[in-house]
Structure 1
Amino acid sequence: MTIKDIARESGYAVGTVSRVINHNPNVSDAARARILEVIEKYHFQPNANAKHLKQQANQGIAMIVKGTHNMLFASVLEKMQMECSAAGYTSMVFYIDENDNEVEQARCVCRERKPTGVIFLGSDRNHFGPDLADLGVPCLLMTNSAASTTIPNLSSVSVDDVDAAACMVRYLLEKGHRRIGFIGGNLLSSQPSSARLSGCINEFSRHGLTLDPEKQYVAARFTLQGGYIAIKQLLETMPDLTAVFAFSDIMAIGAMRALRDQRLYVPVNVSVCGFDGIELTDYLARRLTTIRQPVDQMAARGVSILIRCIEEGCDAVHELVPYELLTRESVRRLPDTNKTH
C-alpha cells in the first residue's frame, strides 16, 4: 500500500493525501475524514520515502501578473507562493505588460507547462469569456471580482471596490473637500478603476453633488510616472482642486511628487489619498491616507479556494474580503468656509 493507492482508494489527489499525512491544515474536513478512513482501513504507515513521494506529488500553479510596478501584487504574490508551498504545490510566475492579454498568456502557459490551476493578478475583464473553460483547469482572479461572470472555472477574491471608494470619498467630504480630482486606470480595461469611480460618483450623488469624470478623472498607468503625469493633467482642468484620490498607492506617491514639483504641498495645499495600503505608505514624510486591502487574508483565501477547485472539483467561488480605511497625515480638514463650495 502506497500513498498513490491511498489516493486512488479515497478518490482524492496524491497531494491531498500527502497533506493529511503531514498534518497540513489546508484540507477540507470531508477530504481529511475520507483519507483517514482509508489509512485506518489498510493500516497504512508512512515510510522513509514519504517525503520523496510528497515532492513527486507537487503540482504547478501558474501565476500571471500584469505589470511589474504594482507593489500590492508583489505582496500578494509572495504570500500566495508561501500558501501554495505549504499546501504541497509549486508555483510558476509569469509577468506581462499592463496592456497585454492575460488570457492569451494563460493559454500559452497551459499548453507548454500543463499547470493544475491558474491565478490572475491584474486583469481586463474584457479578455475573460466562456472559452476560458477551454483551459481545462480551475482559475482564480485576485483583487478583482468575477462574480458577475458565468465562467464555470473562474473564482475570485477581492474587496468591494465600489463600497471602498465610496468610503474614501465620504471621508474627504467630511473633511470639507468638494473640489476632488481622481486618478485611475483606463475605464474600458480596468474593472477595479471603473468600479471605484462608480463608488465615487454614487457618494457624490448621495451628498447632492455631481462628479464630472470629463473634468475630474484622469486615466493613467498604475505606476509612479503615471500618477506624476496625471497630476499635471488634473491641474489643467482643476487648478483649484483641494484633494486627489488615486486608485492605487503607487499612483498617489507619484502624484505627491508632482504636486511638490508644482510647489503645492501635501496636505497644506492639496490632500492626497490612495488605495491598496502597501507598506511603503507607512514611511512617507506624510503617511498616506489609503484603503488597505488585507494581503494575507486575500492570499490565504484565494489559494484555499483554488486548491479545493483543483482537488475536489468545487464550483467557482466569489468572495469579498473586508477593507480598512487608514486615515493618516496626507489629508487635512478644510476650514468651514470651504464646505459650501
Structure 2
Amino acid sequence: MKATLLKENFLKALSIASKAISLKATLPVLNNCLIESKENKLYLTTTNLETGINIYLPAKTEEAGILSIPARPLLEFVNAVPEEKILIESTDESLTVSSGYYKATLSGISASEFPSLPKVSQSNKVGLQKDDLISAVLSVSFCASIDESRAPLTGLLIKGDEKETTFVATDGYRLSEKKIKGQGFFQGPLLIPSRAAIEVARIAQEILKDKEQIVYLSKEENELLFTFGEVEFFTRLIDSPFPSYQAIIPTGYSTQARVSLKALEDALKSVSVISKEGGFVAKLAFAKGGTLSLSSAAPQVGEAQVQVEGDVEGEGVSVAFNIRYLLEALNIFTGPSVSFKLTSPTSPVLLQDEAKADFIHIIMPIRVQA
C-alpha cells in the first residue's frame, strides 16, 4: 500500500481503534491494527474477540494494500511526528511511516491471520439520538458489577418499544434505570457488556462532537453493531438472563425527603473522612419535620456528624448506606435537589433527581447494629 494522510486524522483514528485492543492479548495479532488502503480512504480495524472497531479516514491512496501492524508503537510514533502530512508504504511484511525527517518501519503480520469481525446485517436497525444514548449509558453504567463471575450483572440491559427505550444496570446492591425516547426496538431485551457500552458512549461523544446525529444499532444472533459517523463498533452480547429487577422498585413509601444536592454532597464528603476507616458506612437519620442528620464512626479514629436542612414528610427513619455508592449516584444528578423515598431501615431506597423524571436510582441499605 501507499497513502498520504494528515497526522491529525490518522492519530485520532488510531486512538479510537486502539480502544478495542486488550492489554492482556493472548495472541500477538490481537495487539495489531489491520490497515487497509483503497479508494482514497484508510480503514483501521481492531478486535479483542469480544469487541471490535472499524474506522475509516480520508487519505490520498496511490497503491491499495492491507497489513496488520502493532497498534501501540504505531500510535506512539505518529503522535511524536511534528509534521502535518504522513506517508505510509507497505511491503508484504512491514509498514514504513515517514514524515519529514521522521521515519519508522514496523514489522507486520499478514492480514490473513487477523480475526474477521462478525457480519451483522444493517437491514433491520434501530436509531437512537446520540445525546440520549450517551446520557443513558452514563446514567446507569456505574451500577454494573465488575465481578466477571456474575456475568449478567456486568452488563447493561436495553429494552424498548415504540415509545421509549430503557437502560438498566445493577450489581445487586444498587440499580439505575434511565428511559429515553425511542422509535421501536428489537424483539426481546439486549444485555451489553458495560465496558463496551461505555466505550461506545465515549467514542460517539468524540466522533459526533457538536453534531446532532443518530447512533444506529443492528443485531444479528449474539452480536450487536453500533454505527455512527465513520465508526462501526461491534460487541458480543451477554448470553445470560438479566435479573427480574422490577420487583425491588418501591411502589409505596412511608417517608419522603427532599434535600439540596449540593448540601448533601458536601455533608457526605465530610463524614466520609471517618467512614473510610469504618467500611464506608454512614447513617442518615430523617427526622420528621425537616432535618437530615448524617453520622459515621470508626473504632480508634472517631466520629463525625453533619446536619442538613431538608423537607421530610411522613415517619422519621434512620438508614445506613455505603457512602461511596451514594456519592457515585449523586455524581450524575443535575437538579437542585434529591428526593428520597423510604419504607424501612432495611428496604430498598428510591432516589430521584428533580431534573430527570425519566431516571431512578435504587440503593440497598446496610444492616448495622443499633
TM-score (norm 1): 0.24
Structure possessing the higher radius of gyration over alpha carbons: 2
- Specify which structure has the higher proportion of helix: 1
TM-score after normalising by structure 2:
0.23
More strand by share: 2
